[in-house]
Chain A
């Protein structure tokens, strides 16, 4: 994967894809994939952790609530632009909007809030044929700026 220097006009520096069986035992592989790409892109250690965390939540959601394709797979991709890294996970299911439960002792409903806190943008694309969740994190992200005070 090549890295494009900041300020480049290239729209897409690189893109990669990973197709994994829709099984929870594949989550580690999804995290490693996201971590390697984030590191190669040049996110700092905190940025990498946050990106990987959000990816793990999105993939967990796809495995949990989504439906795999006829081969039992879900599809992950990461596109690196000059200034941001965008992850997408697609499944064939209908997105189940989490029930917002305000009780802090509730077992479910934290994934989306975590994703939104850790990356710069979360986009849900719900279509008749399936659901795609997109997460993007800027090279100098809002959360990094917030950490820097």
Chain B
């Protein structure tokens, strides 16, 4: 199993979307590392990002505390005046977990980062 990582925030979309950013993470996201995820997501919102994409393509495991962080981020965006958040995921078991928790009802899931970027760029 691959250990956890979280990449630097990547600007996505064209120059017309300065508030759109992608955070890519990978490996196993559990209670040990979910505070790092929380810090990074909240930092992005504080920096003015209102369209956030979490790219979980390389994530093989995501626990309830990390799902809580993602759900909490949707709430923070609402408090900050609204925004949108998307998750990119292809791992079947991770998708199953997202469905069980109902996260797929508050966040749109995409199979590829390009698809998510296009959708959120249009959502502006």
Which interface residue of A25, A60, A63 has the most chain B CB atoms within 10 A? Answer: A60
The residue of chain A having its C-beta at the shortest distance from the C-beta of B78 within the complex is: A105
B45 within 8 A of A: no
Chain B, interface size category, equals 20 to 34
Q: Which of A5-13, A85-93, A109-117 contacts B (4 or more CB under 8 A)?
A: A109-117
Q: How far is the CA of A108 from the CA of B72 in the complex (A)?
A: 9
Which interface residue of A105, A111, A113 has the most chain B CB atoms within 10 A? Answer: A105
**Chain B: interface secondary structure?**
helix
- 25 CB contacts below 8 A, A to B, read A27-B30, A28-B30, A28-B32, A31-B28, A49-B93, A56-B61, A57-B63, A57-B64, A60-B30, A60-B64, A60-B65, A63-B31, A104-B103, A104-B106, A105-B71, A105-B72, A105-B74, A105-B75, A106-B71, A106-B72, A107-B69, A107-B72, A111-B64, A114-B100, A117-B100
Q: How far is the CA of A77 from the CA of B105 in the complex (A)?
A: 36
